[in-house]
């Protein structure tokens, strides 16, 4: 018996390992972030400082432009997710023809058409997850636009500005967190694409993705630069 009737035991084991590595990394990254030891935690502190500083500015055109730039980046990946999903659906619709083309590619392991289509469906599921995370991020950035318009004026009391900055910065960080999860799904989807070669290759590729993500989020020069640019503050 296998988890998916069309998949052999080796592929099921590879898929379970893939999911375990992805989920395990996500849980570990979230726990380290709570301790303030990640790229996300560092940028969250800068986002709060940004929200506090804009309260002292009469003209907030630059802040609107910055927020718009963030939204354009998220929108790009939302559109890309739809295009990728469309391509995967088209691949399934091509049926025997698409299967024959894939099997002719070098290094691709021989498998039945049912196994091939099952892998494509699971890969599409990864991009569906990415799409939901990225579009939720986009909605949260839209809410940030509302908060930007409702920001206290420079003559407001300091306590009002501090309260606003805390919550507006947190909403901005939550939007970034959702986008980060969606973007992370792209990295793992790249690893899953090697599943068409061999389940063992997918596991190795997933380990490489985990190593790359860990280094960038917790051991990179970018993180050290962000930490050095602002005094340590508690995470939002």
- List pLDDT tens digits, range 102-161: 666 665 666 677 788 888 899 999 999 999 999 999 999 999 999 999 999 999 999 999
More confident residue, 133 or 196: 133
Task: Look at residue 75 in the predicted model and tell me its pLDDT.
Answer: 95
What is the spatial distance between Cα 107 and Cα 217, in angstroms, rounded to a whole number?
32
Of 194, 195, 176, 181, which is closest to residue 22 (Cα–Cα)? 181
The tens digit of pLDDT for each residue in 50-102 reads 999 999 998 889 999 999 999 999 999 999 999 999 989 888 877 677 667 66
Task: Look at residue 235 in the predicted model and tell me its pLDDT.
Answer: 45
More confident residue, 37 or 181: 181
Of 196, 190, 89, 181, which is closest to residue 135 (Cα–Cα)? 181
Specify if 236 maps to a domain: no
Specify if 102 maps to a domain: yes
Q: How confident is the model at residue 28 (pLDDT cuts 50, 70, 90)?
A: very high
Query: Rounded to two decimals, what is the model's pTM?
Result: 0.88
Specify if 235 maps to a domain: no
What is the spatial distance between Cα 161 and Cα 106, in angstroms, rounded to a whole number?
60
Mean pLDDT of 182-207: 93
Q: How confident is the model at residue 6 (pLDDT cuts 50, 70, 90)?
A: confident
Average pLDDT of the chain is: 88
Q: What are the start-end ranges of the E strands in 101-169?
A: none
Specify if 30 maps to a domain: yes
Q: Is the pLDDT assigned to residue 223 strictly greater than 80?
A: yes
Specify if 233 maps to a domain: no
What is the spatial distance between Cα 95 and Cα 15, in angstroms, rounded to a whole number?
23
**Domain around 53:** 9-228
Specify if 68 maps to a domain: yes
Contacts with 75 (C-beta within 8 Å, 6 or more apart), sequence order = 138
Task: Look at residue 231 in the predicted model and tell me its pLDDT.
Answer: 61
Half-sphere exposure of 35 (CA within 13 A, CB side): 7
Q: What are the start-end ranges of the E strands in 61-163?
A: none
Buried b (16+ CB within 10 A) or exposed e, 27-36: eebeebbeeb
Percent of the chain with pLDDT over 90: 61
For the chain, how many structural domains are there in total?
Answer: 1
């Amino acid at each position: 018996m296998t988890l998916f009737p069309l998949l052999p035991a080796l592929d099921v084991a590879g898929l379970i390992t893939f999911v375990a590595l992805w989920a395990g990394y996500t849980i570990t990254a979230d726990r380290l972030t709570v301790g303030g030891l990640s790229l996300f935690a560092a940028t969250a502190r800068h986002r709060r400082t940004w929200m506090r500083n804009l309260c002292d500015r009469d003209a907030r055109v630059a802040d609107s432009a910055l927020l718009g730039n963030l939204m354009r980046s998220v929108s790009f990946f939302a559109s890309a997710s739809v295009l990728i999903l469309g391509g995967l659906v088209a691949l399934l619709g091509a049926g025997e023809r698409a299967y024959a083309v894939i099997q002719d590619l070098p290094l691709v392991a021989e498998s039945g058409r049912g196994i091939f289509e099952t892998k494509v469906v699971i890969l599409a599921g990864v991009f569906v997850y990415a799409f939901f995370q990225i579009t939720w991020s986009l909605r949260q950035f839209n809410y940030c636009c509302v908060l930007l318009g409702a920001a206290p004026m420079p003559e407001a009391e300091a306590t009002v500005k501090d309260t606003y900055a805390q919550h507006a910065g947190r909403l901005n960080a939550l939007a970034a967190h959702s986008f980060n999860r969606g973007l992370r799904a792209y990295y793992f989807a790249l690893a899953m694409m090697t599943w068409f070669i061999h389940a063992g290759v997918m596991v190795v590729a997933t380990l490489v993705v985990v190593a790359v993500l860990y280094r960038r989020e917790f051991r990179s020069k970018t993180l050290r630069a962000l930490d050095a640019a602002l005094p340590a503050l508690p995470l939002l």
